[in-house]
Chains A and B, each alone.
Chain A
Amino acid sequence: MMKLNQISNLSKIIDECVHCGLCLSSCPTYLTSGLEAKSPRGRLLIMNQIQENPEVLDKEMLQHLNTCLDCRGCETVCPSGVEYHLAFQETTNIINKNQTLPFLSTFILSEIKNKKILPLIKWVVWISKKLRILSLLSKLGINTAIQGNSIPVNKIEDLLKIKSGIHKTNQISKGLIGLYTGCIMNEWFIKVHKSTINVLNTLGYNVFIPENNICCGALHQHSGDSGTAFQLKSESENIFKNCDFVVVNSAGCSAELKSNNTKIKYLDIIEFLNSVEIKMKNSWNKNIIWDAPCHLSHAQQLATTTTELFNKLKIEPISWSGQEICCGGAGNYTLIHPQESEEILKLKYNQLLKYEINYLVTSNPGCHLQLEKGRQLYNRNFQIIHFVELIEMIL
């Protein structure tokens, strides 16, 4: 519960902002709107207005605040070390005390918690893909269809859950790693989990897969429901108690899991891969772009670690401007703020489209879905893959 003490300090955080404005150009919503109210500096002032007068909430200003992706791009560049996300969380808590969450948010969050909706979507998407309904509707520009079509379930194997229990390496084991299977990853990205197990086994580790879906509570936390987030996080404490450590292949989840005091050692897959020796069978000669998830570079500050890892693997992703800016995926942002999300995606693709590439690499399901949506909208042929799928190809 450390965190609750930490974040009860809204005004202290707001005071640390010296109004220098250096964060403006790192904020996706400022870049698309040009509005101070949709910039980190402006939002901190809105938070101040809210804390000074929580009973009278100005709907328009709330809307500006709510369009924040919580991507934390502003924190990376802020010279003053303003912990924007803590201020944002505490303000969201204040707001939620004074008004109810919009229906769509509540619905999505409760469905994720109940763990029913994700498998259902997966099957509906798969069948619609088979019957070519989705690609037809996507071509007509229907947003939900494009979003559905972005879910990477193409073959029947992509739907079938991985066996729980221990997946053994065929070498002398270096240790037992728990794989944090998550909620969305465990239903829609089974393919990535399979690659992860394969990579970890090849590197000489046994991998433990829990029986049920687990959830880090990130989406709940960002919507101001810290209670549910905490409860969800605690559920996994016991599940992994026999593992040496737990590897997380979704940057959003690793960031959230690490933010709590916990007995378990969580490592993002990128951190883990950078810490072990990797013997490559194949060298890499395809053009790739790495689009770092915000929760990796900004929330966990692992940008340098990723660069080191690429150097170690002798892979040189194309250097491009725009990678430190969020793609507009940001959890359920696409569903709640479709228009803003699409404008931000356009910003990203305006840069991406300048390059000829074979693969676009990421390591977070939300980014994966959003980038895939962009790929379809802009009609490109490259493939979007997870970092472990890239490693799998060279191991």
Chain B
Amino acid sequence: MITEQFLNSIKRKLSNEKIRINPNELKLYANDGLQLHEAVPGCVILPDSTEEIAWIVKQCIKYKIPFVPRGAGTGLSGGSVISDGVIIQLSRLNKILEIDIPNRCAIVQPGVVNAYLTQEVKSQGYHFAPDPSSQIASTIGGNVAENAGGPHTLKHGVTVNHVLGQTIVLPNGKITKIGGKHRYSAELDLNSLFTGSEGTLGIISEIIVNLSKDPLSTRTLLLIFDKISNATDLVTEILLAGVIPSALEMIDQLCIQAVENHLKIGFPKNASAILIIELDGEIENVNWELEQIKHISKKYVSEKIIEATSEKDRQNLWRGRKHAAGAIGNISPAFYTNDGVVPRDKLTPILEFIQFVSRKYEMKIANLCHAGDGNIHPLILYNPKDKKEIKKAFDCSTEILLKCIEYGGVLTGEHGIGIEKIHLMEKMFGKQEIELQRKIKHGFDKNNLLNPGKLIPDKMGCGELNIFNKQFSS
């Protein structure tokens, strides 16, 4: 709970303008991209330096107030919301501090928008490889915290593969630096520990990221199917043949229709599914891969393969894919998606299971998949004004995620656990594994004030584990 003393103490150092306490304004921070969970903070503070973050953290410890860092709030697992605590909003730390082409890296503040970094180095033939569909708005700090992936993860890796170093404000208010411009690590791999820790181990205030050279050639294909299983079966075959596309994305019919309603990309509205496949690299290699795909896909596709013939065409296809989730707003006032992962050869059965869940709960579910990674995104459509539907949406998702675990997959490919999937952690991990994670968290954050109740369940089996679930069963 925010106290008078805390606010007075903060106001002594920071200008009023950086401290947001108007109750109506605080309501705007009640959600991130996950609409299902709401928590109104007690105060939002906007620091503009690492030192200021550290100072705020120390005040939070002094007054025992929970706090959470927030980037652009595009997260889909409720990671950056907090009830009554302090949101440390990092949007003003948005400078690219250094671009070092000879060492192929850049130093950025956490609030730099992912796509801005690529824009900045594009003319020199480089890009920042992690490309979540939210890249036009999500911050690099948020990407690191969630270990974000994207369509091109399949070949080029997720965020952790592109983080070289970090400056971190620890939950005790101390500032520490890990990694550096070099690509080797002498310590325990702290870079990997912090990447993907969902803002529970520290607040990242500076990041050294890897810059990737643009590929020599790129080919982008659109494959059309009259049966979803044909698309998913083809995915497995392509990878079996030794072809590693840079992206292998699937979109189903309902999702195609949402996209076409508003964006008019030119996706075939009556296809059961489409695959967007991108190949990149040396020209000869790409040509060979293209031939393989043409050959293998013959018995699966229902129409001739379409290839993007210009950069504009290619961008258009990607716009359709990257805006697909958001486009659901056209056909439903809200959607809820998880990002469960299954081993690739289980894609067909998991999509069939999603159909089953959809029929069982009488809820519409559209599907997007980073198919090459076995990473599903069932978009469950619901009416946010109908409590029963909210509960049903949540239950659909839980059933799907449990099936992912049963198939030998995991709870999340990229959106994180946050508060959304915390109730399933004990289903995923054994007691010992959870205990180990709790010990790590406790080692950094003895007071349990940094983003509490997220990612790692506080106490196994106790009621708190189900905070999220409780909200809807009442």
Residues of chain A having any CB pair with chain B under 8 Å? 15-26, 30-31, 34-37, 41-42, 45-46, 49, 58, 60-61, 64, 77-82, 319, 321
Contact = CB atoms under 8 A, between A and B. Distances in A.
Q: Which of A31, A41, A80, A81 has the most CB of B within 10 A?
A: A80
B74 A80 contact: no
B119 to A, nearest CB: 4
Contact of A19 (B33, B111, B262, B327): B33
A321 B72 contact: no
In the complex, the 7 A-B pairs of residues with the closest C-beta atoms, listed nearest first? A80-B329, A79-B326, A34-B91, A79-B323, A81-B262, A21-B74, A321-B119
Contacts of B131: none
A373 to B, nearest CB: 24
Contact of B326 (A22, A35, A42, A319): A22
Contact of B22 (A16, A34, A58): A58
Contacts of A16: 329-330, 333
Interface of B: 20, 22, 24-25, 27-29, 31-33, 35, 44, 46, 72-74, 89, 91-92, 94, 111, 113, 115-116, 119-120, 123, 134, 136-138, 261-263, 323-330, 333-335
Q: Which of A26, A34, A42, A60 has the most CB of B within 10 A?
A: A34
Contacts of A20: 33, 74, 134, 325-326
A78 B29 contact: no
Contact of B35 (A18, A22, A30, A64): A18
A80 B33 contact: no
Nearest to B322: A79
A25 B261 CA distance: 24
Contacts, number: 111
B421 to A, nearest CB: 19
Contacts of B33: 19-21
Contacts of B323: 22, 79
A363 to B, nearest CB: 22
Nearest to A319: B123
B335 A36 contact: no
Given A21-B33, A24-B72, A34-B91, A79 B24 contact: no
Contacts of A18: 35, 326, 328-329, 334-335
Given A21-B137, A21-B138, A25-B72, 11 more contacts: A18-B35, A19-B31, A21-B73, A24-B74, A25-B113, A25-B115, A41-B28, A42-B28, A61-B24, A79-B326, A321-B119
Given A18-B335, A37-B25, A321 B263 contact: no
Nearest to B120: A321
Given A20-B33, A42-B28, A321 B116 contact: yes
Given A18-B335, A80-B327, A36 B29 contact: yes
A58 B20 CA distance: 14
Contacts of A49: 24, 27
A50 to B, nearest CB: 10
23 contacts: A16-B333, A17-B329, A18-B329, A19-B32, A20-B325, A23-B137, A25-B116, A25-B136, A26-B137, A34-B92, A35-B20, A35-B46, A35-B91, A36-B25, A36-B28, A36-B89, A46-B24, A46-B28, A64-B25, A77-B136, A79-B263, A79-B329, A80-B262
Nearest to B46: A34
B330 A81 contact: yes
A105 B329 CA distance: 35
A61 B116 CA distance: 29
Contacts of B333: 15-16
A42 B26 CA distance: 10
Contact of A79 (B72, B73, B91, B262): B262
Contacts of A34: 46, 89, 91-92, 94, 111
A18 B323 CA distance: 12
B89 A37 contact: no
B24 A19 contact: no
A21 B262 CA distance: 18
A191 B324 CA distance: 46
Contacts of A19: 31-33, 35
A73 B211 CA distance: 28
A61 B22 CA distance: 9
A79 B335 CA distance: 13
Contacts of A25: 72, 113, 115-116, 136-137
B38 to A, nearest CB: 11
Contact of A45 (B27, B44, B115, B263): B27
A80 B73 CA distance: 17
A301 B87 CA distance: 37
Q: Which of B28, B72, B263, B325 has the most CB of A within 10 A?
A: B28
A114 B262 CA distance: 41
A60 B22 contact: yes
A37 B74 CA distance: 15
B22 A79 contact: no
A37 B326 contact: no
Contacts of A321: 116, 119-120
Contacts of A45: 27-28
Contacts of A17: 329
Contact of A61 (B25, B31, B74, B115): B25
B329 A22 contact: no
Contacts of B123: 319
B73 A36 contact: yes
Nearest to A37: B25
A41 B329 CA distance: 14
Contacts of B35: 18-19
A30 B136 CA distance: 14
B24 A58 contact: yes
A26 B25 CA distance: 21
Contacts of A42: 28
A352 B333 CA distance: 39
Contact of A60 (B25, B44, B137, B326): B25
Given A21-B73, A21-B74, A26 B136 contact: yes
A82 B329 CA distance: 8
Contact of A22 (B27, B116, B134): B134
A21 B32 contact: yes
A49 to B, nearest CB: 6
B262 A22 contact: no
Q: Which of A22, A58, A60, A321 has the most CB of B within 10 A?
A: A22
A175 B323 CA distance: 43
A15 B123 CA distance: 39
B341 to A, nearest CB: 22
A77 B120 CA distance: 19
Contacts of B261: 81
B39 to A, nearest CB: 14
Nearest to A23: B137
Contacts of B28: 36-37, 41-42, 45-46
Nearest to B48: A34
A34 B71 CA distance: 10
